[in-house]
Amino acid sequence: MKIIPVILSGGVGSRLWPLSREHFPKQCLPLTDKAYSLLQQTMQRTLALDVADPIVVCNEDHRFLIAQQLQALGVEKSSIVLEPKGRNTAPAIALAALESIRSQGDDAVMLVLPADHVIRDIVAFENTIKQAVELAKEDGLVTFGVQPTRPETGYGYIRSGDNFAVAEFVEKPNLEKAQAYLDSGDYLWNSGMFLFRAKAFLDELSVHRDDIFQAVNRAYQQRSEDMDFIRIDAELFVQCPEESIDFAVMEPTKKAKVVPYVGDWSDIGAWDALYDYSDKDADNNVLLGDVMSEGSSNCFIRSESRLIAAVGVQNLVIVETADAILVMDKNNAQDVKKIVKRIQTEGREEHMYHTTVHRPWGTYQTVDLGDRHQVKRIMVKPGEKLSVQMHHHRAEHWVVVSGTAKVQNGDREILLTENESTYIPVGVVHALENPGKIPLELVEVQSGSYLGEDDIVRFSDRYGR
287-299 residue pLDDT tens: 999 999 999 999 9
CB 57 within 8 A of CB 9: yes
Handedness of CA 108, 113, 34, 304 (dihedral sign): positive
Question: Helical H runs in 79-192?
Answer: 89-104, 122-136, 175-184
**Who wins on pLDDT, 434 or 461?**
434
Specify the pLDDT at position 1.
Answer: 67
pLDDT band, very low/low/confident/very high, at 320 (cuts 50, 70, 90): very high
Dihedral Cα 260, 255, 6, 230, nearest 10 deg: -170
11-32 residue pLDDT tens: 888 999 999 999 899 999 999 9
Angle at 179 between CA 178 and CA 185, to 5 degrees: 95
CA–CA distance, 333 with 12 (Å, rounded to integer): 16
304-315 residue pLDDT tens: 999 999 999 999
Strand order in the sheet with 457-460: 412-416, 405-409, 430-433, 388-390, 457-460
- 172-186, 235-249, 432-446: which has the minimum mean pLDDT? 172-186
CA–CA distance, 170 with 189 (Å, rounded to integer): 9
pLDDT at 266 exceeding the cut of 80:
yes
CA–CA distance, 414 with 423 (Å, rounded to integer): 12
DSSP assignment, residue 386?
P
Instruction: Give every CB contact of residue 27 below 8 A, 6+ residues apart in sequence.
Output: 9, 11, 13, 37, 38, 39, 42, 115, 116
pLDDT at 76 exceeding the cut of 90:
no
| Average of per-residue pLDDT across 140-159 | 92
**CA distances in angstroms from 161 to 139, 169, 249, 257, listed in the order given:** 18, 11, 18, 9
CA–CA distance, 36 with 40 (Å, rounded to integer): 6
Question: Helical H runs in 137-279?
Answer: 175-184, 198-208, 210-221, 234-237, 245, 271-277
pLDDT band, very low/low/confident/very high, at 355 (cuts 50, 70, 90): confident
Handedness of CA 69, 196, 189, 331 (dihedral sign): positive
pLDDT at 431 exceeding the cut of 70:
yes
Strand order in the sheet with 286-288: 286-288, 300-303, 316-320, 325-329
| Average of per-residue pLDDT across 337-358 | 92
pLDDT band, very low/low/confident/very high, at 417 (cuts 50, 70, 90): very high
pLDDT at 227 exceeding the cut of 80:
no
161-204 residue pLDDT tens: 989 999 999 999 999 999 999 999 899 999 999 999 999 999 99
CA–CA distance, 392 with 108 (Å, rounded to integer): 51
Mean pLDDT of all residues belonging to the chain: 93
| Average of per-residue pLDDT across 61-83 | 91
Cα 273 to chain centroid, rounded: 17
| Average of per-residue pLDDT across 236-258 | 95
Instruction: Give every CB contact of residue 416 below 8 A, 6+ residues apart in sequence.
Output: 398, 400, 404, 405, 407, 422
pLDDT band, very low/low/confident/very high, at 358 (cuts 50, 70, 90): confident
CA–CA distance, 99 with 15 (Å, rounded to integer): 31
CA–CA distance, 164 with 161 (Å, rounded to integer): 6
**Who wins on pLDDT, 226 or 398?**
398
Q: Which amino acid, one-letter code, is at 405?
A: A
CA–CA distance, 74 with 45 (Å, rounded to integer): 14
Domains and CATH numbers, the chain: 3-261 (3.90.550.10), 271-340 (no CATH), 356-460 (2.60.120.10)
- Number of Cβ within 10 Å of residue 13's Cβ equals 24
